[in-house]
Amino acid sequence: MSRIGKKPVSVKDGIDVAIKDGTITIKGKNGSLDLTWHPNMDVTYDSEKREINVSRPNDQRQNRALHGLTRSLINNMVDGVEELFEKKLEIKGVGYNATLQGSVIRLQVGFANTIELPIPDGVNCQCPDPTHITVTSMDKQKVGQFAANIRRVRPPEPYKGKGIRYEGEYVRMKAGKALAGK
């Protein structure tokens, strides 16, 4: 039995859950999220205990994998409508910066042109200063994907550490040719 899949998802007060035709809708103070789960899974909501349970029909490999996945996706939805998910990025390098213009984030990270990334629906970006970006949303997958797309523009390089990195990310530095021969 899946250790994650068999745990019930507890629903706090102020969060509404509706299950209909293979789709679960969760509404909270931050908004509403929908999920259509795989037809092999069975999702039930106990309104007295305020718990969502996910079960699988058998122990086939695909069903075991989907069991924990479905439960985790539902748990992330419940957490997201309660409190927003957040990823922070920092930009290192002389002249490297980010600016926000409407629904587009503009990155100047050492290329001849400015990179413009449109901000997806349901995702909020803030630039408290030119070298920091904060991505927030109630959808955990959208936050992680958009933060990864921003980082992919100029990942940190190992010789000087210039580039876009997650806040607190450790970048292993290399010595380079000048120090290698000594």
Q: How far is CA 137 from the centre of its chain?
A: 8
Is residue 176 domain-resident?
A: no
Do 39 and 105 fall into the same domain? no
- Do residue 52 and residue 90 come from a single domain? no
Per-residue pLDDT of the chain (182 residues; tens, 9 = 90+): 568 888 999 999 999 999 999 999 999 999 999 999 999 999 999 999 999 999 999 999 999 999 999 999 999 999 999 999 999 999 999 999 999 999 999 999 999 999 999 999 999 999 999 999 999 999 999 999 999 999 999 999 999 999 999 999 999 999 888 765 56
Alpha-carbon distance of 68 to 43, in angstroms, equals 12
Assess contact for 75 and 62: CB atoms under 8 A.
no
Dihedrals φ, ψ of 144, to 5°?
-65, -40
Shared domain check, 111 and 146: yes
Short-list 83, 64, 74, CA closest to 3? 64
Distance CA 11, CA 34 (A): 15
- Give domain status of residue 48, yes or no: yes
40 shares a domain with 112: no
Indicate which CATH number applies to the domain containing 24.
3.90.930.12
Please state the domain count of the chain: 2
For 40-48, the CB contacts below 8 A with 24+ separation are 40/66, 41/66, 41/67, 41/70, 43/19, 43/70, 43/74, 44/19, 45/11, 45/17, 45/19, 47/17
Q: Is residue 2 part of a domain?
A: no
CA angle, 1 as apex, 41 and 71 as ends, to 5°? 45
